[in-house]
Amino acid sequence: MSFHDNALIVVFGASGDLASKKTFPALFGLYRENKLPKVVSIIGFARSDLSHDQFRDKVSKHLKYDKNNDDHIKKLENFLKICTYHRGSYDEAEGFQELEKSIVKFDNDNKLEVSNRLYYLALPPSVFTKVATNLKKYNYPSDSSKGSARLIVEKPFGHDLESSRQLQSELSPLWKEEELFRIDHYLGKEMVKNLLPVRFTNTFLMSCWNNQFIDCIQISFKENFGTEGRGGYFDSIGIIRDVIQNHLLQVLTILLMGKPEDFTNPESIRNEKVNLLKAIRTIDFNDVLIGQYTKSTDGSKPAYIDDETVNADSKANTFAAIALHVDNDTWKNVPIILKAGKALNDSKVEIRIQFKKSVADIYENSSRNELVFRIQPDEAMYLKMNIKLPGVPNKVSVSDLDLTYKDRYSKEFYIPEAYESLIYDALNDDHSNFVRNDELDISWALFTPLLHYLESDKGPSPELYPYGSRGPEGLHEFMKKHGYDYASNENYQWPVTTPEVLNNSKF
């Protein structure tokens, strides 16, 4: 049941950073763009002692709007009016009983025949079960024909396979799978949501989207900053759990999955993602490179272990590159490199699909074609291709077909933030961009042996790399070993080569 007509949205953990910086800005973005139901109320639930006005003031600090736009200013005022605060404990009945009174009052005041409730858990996993239990007991519509409830839970969905299964075993008796929305915000990013339309509505890409034409795939995540005081948290997580096992693996499944039987059916899409995950070969520990950042070469940036919240002998990986292999007819023998790191030379997330070298290699400086999707920042996709240089000589250079969103589309286009997109999907009961229980199980089964090995006494020490560098020194050879051709990038220039290169050319 979609929430087209009305919705009561309750955000748990409403006083925390995640809710303040992500959840409420997303809700306001939807409200500003008229994407929320016409009859809507938003309740923040947390343990902090806040008045309604204090809560609204806290929320408003992170909301995005045009201060010169009278309509936006009015929308902000109205949005804050529909936001109220409810103080309560996550493990005691009283807070949930009082919450139910507020929900019933909202329904009665608006004369609603159907009570639609969306509960968003911006909370750590340690309290998921407590809150989910109380919600089901005290805040679930008593008559399914007169109401519905949906539960959004944030990652991490466990720490490894065992803890993930434990969490699932606690939630599944309470909430049906169709009522659960496990949110991975990368699935809401504009360019990630564009992968399926690009793949399946362009004949030339559908024809070459296989191991006959593609040589290597790289999905990379780079941040140019370190843990910045969050080392204590990160020390028990590491870059593989934080980014690779969830965000990058989800991108991989959409990038490589087979054609769904029915694009209008979310389960059909998720079935294909699961089929792809099942085909991924067990990770070979020799196909993994891990690293940890140390001080920058000029000494201005600290090492990871300089963080006071981190153990001085920490082996936590702040960088990892992992080569995966999909053992099916479409992708067999195509290495897929998942790469993520902190304190690197740049901040960006992108996909690079490198095609096989042309058999007719008759021109000097010709390179492999490469299709690039830049997920963030500045969404873009471009195809590197060989073209003849302008002028008389018959020489080629690498140029590109470029779709950079900010250049192609006017500012009037509303491109939602990832959280906006996913909350909108949840309100419309669309599960296609959320993680299903079997997806989660397979992904943890894939990565848990590697994580346990790296965190054991037998695990290798991470290779140190300077803050602000491209990563560990061994990365270049690792990439070459797993099929990535750097030469294609070396020949790429932008702007395209200046006319001076023609001066020494002969007729």
Q: Which of 216, 201, 212, 481 is nearest to 371 (CA)?
A: 216
Give CA–CA dist 422/168, Å, rounded: 21
Q: In a 10 Å sphere around its CB, with 0-12 CB exposed, 13-18 middle and 19+ buried, how is residue 501 labelled?
A: middle
As given in the structure block, the two tokens for residue 455 are 């965190």
Contact 17, 49 (CB under 8 A): no
Give CA–CA dist 155/158, Å, rounded: 8
**C-alpha distances out from residue 183 to 42, 155, 491, Å:** 19, 7, 40
Q: Which of 91, 85, 64, 62 is nearest to 75 (CA)?
A: 64
Which helix (H) or strand (E) segment holds residue 81: the answer is helix 70-81
Give CA–CA dist 215/12, Å, rounded: 46
**C-alpha distances out from residue 50 to 14, 19, 81, 349, Å:** 11, 15, 16, 38
- Rg (C-alpha) for the chain, rounded Å, is 25
Q: Which of 247, 325, 431, 482 is catalytic?
A: 247
3-state percent helix, strand, coil for the chain, nearest multiple of 5? 40, 20, 40
User: Taking phi first (over 0 means left), then psi (-120 to 50 degrees means alpha), and beta for anything else, what does residue 217 get?
Assistant: beta
Contact 99, 45 (CB under 8 A): yes
Strands 463-466 and 370-376: unpaired
**431 counts as catalytic:** no
- Residues annotated as catalytic are 247
